Amino acid sequence: MRDTGRDDNDNVRHNDTGGYRGAALRALSDAGAAVGDSVVITYKDGTRRAGLLMPRYEHDDDSHVVAKLSSGYNAGISIDQISGIAVDRRGTVTDMGRDGGAGTESSEPARNRAGERILLLSTGGTIASRIDYRTGAVTPVLSASDLRDSIPELADIAEVDSEVVISEYSENIMPEHWLALARRIDERAGDASAGGGRPYAGIIVAHGTDTMHYTSAFLSFALAGLPVPVVLVGAQRSPDRASSDAATNLIGAARFIASHGGGGDVYVAMHGGSGDDAIACHVGTRVRKNHTSRRDAFETIGGSPAFVVSADGGISSAAASGGPDGAGRPRPGPEYSPRISLDQRVALVKYHPGYDPAHLGHIIDSGCRAVIFEGTGLGHVGRAMYGQVERAGERGVFMGMTSQCIDGRTAMTVYESGRDLMEMGVVPLEDMIPEVALVKAMWAASLAEDSDGIRRIMLENVASEMSAR
């Protein structure tokens, strides 16, 4: 597309082809249209469609143009069906954030009537992403202030400060990132600076969904007793999609914090159904992502969400709705004394028929201090594993047993095989989720000198990781 300098409205134009080439590029050039312009496309049958001209995928065909419609969805329109393109309003490619920048961090937080303060920390993920229409991929480019400023409803709920801690997809978040995030939360939790002497009512962490329950588990242990709630929020669909759940999840988390009024626990706030009428707040150690793409992918294992935020702002608890005590509600927290540390010399072993015991041998020989078994049923591994299990016990390796079953708890005294494993030193971990047990073992190993110390910590219900019987 040609560079037309400045138009009659003195808007700066650009010479970015936006991924267009061939016939599509010629059609846009003939119309004087560029990526970012609002255009009206006339079809050969006389119908018209208005939209924002979007970039193309870098390696896509040359016979279509893409327009974002008022509905928020993108439409690919064949050049063969078009009789004319008219520019309604000039724009620039940066209208879609395609410059790769997330914008600058706003120095002034949104003000609100209620007077509550919330800190929004961003770590990346889909919730802080846009579609890059050059490549067709979702990229993490939104800053914390972009998230805050793109949702004006937040200003009616609380005064929101924002900060980027890291910017990564959740599959790239490692234990060292958990430590950095926990330390930052600890530093800012009681911060009343620039807030008229008002500390934060709570902290929202924008996080990718794939490993969000690992992060929520670590924060639950490391920051047990924190005086304000921490709510991790993700999105199954990026904010520029019409079906995005980013805004509703953030609004639900903010409403929950502003109305919670209690002590601090760690939660995960995501859609509670396929619609937008409920945001479920799950206890951070009792939640799991159970679907790859649904907006209500997260579920509390073994019970109901701790709280549900309705579309009108009302908040109900699991106890009020008849949900079970324990997994549905966190127990009262201890006095706050953060223990922000971990030891990564821990392994999660998923047993399966044909598992080679030599793999467990390699784990033991590597200097691993704890092994979490994801066993079958009530908590079993095959007898072929017994030799290495005994060797691990002799080496002073802590061994904990969880179940591959999504729900229910281990019960290793029911069958002979379970009793044999307990005699070898394997410790049943009730209904602890395997991933949560892994994270807790990393945390426990950093606090204990030996396997007995790890065992004591693992059997202590620190952050509702084990539900009441």
* DSSP state letters, 70-103: TTS-EEEEEGGGEEEEEEEE---GGGGTTTS---
User: Distance between alpha carbon 103 and the CA centroid of its chain, in Å?
Assistant: 21
Q: Where are the beta strands (DSSP E) in 201-329?
A: 202-206, 230-233, 266-271, 278-283, 287-289, 298-300, 307-310, 315-317
Q: Residue 297 is encoded by which pair of tokens?
A: 């992918």
Whole-number Å distance between alpha carbons of 155 and 256: 14
Q: Which residues contact 264 (CB under 8 A, 6 or more apart)?
A: 189, 202, 223, 225, 226, 227, 228, 229, 230, 333, 336
Angle between helices 386-394 and 416-423 (to 10 degrees): 30
DSSP-derived secondary structure letter, 440: H
What's the length of the chain?
Answer: 469
Whole-number Å distance between alpha carbons of 404 and 409: 10
> Could you list the active site residues?
126, 209-210, 289
139 and 98 in contact (C-beta within 8 Å)?
A: no
Q: Which residues contact 45 (CB under 8 A, 6 or more apart)?
A: none
Handedness of CA 275, 464, 222, 187 (dihedral sign): positive
Beta bridge pairs of residue 408: none
Identify the residue whose tokens are 């009512």: 201
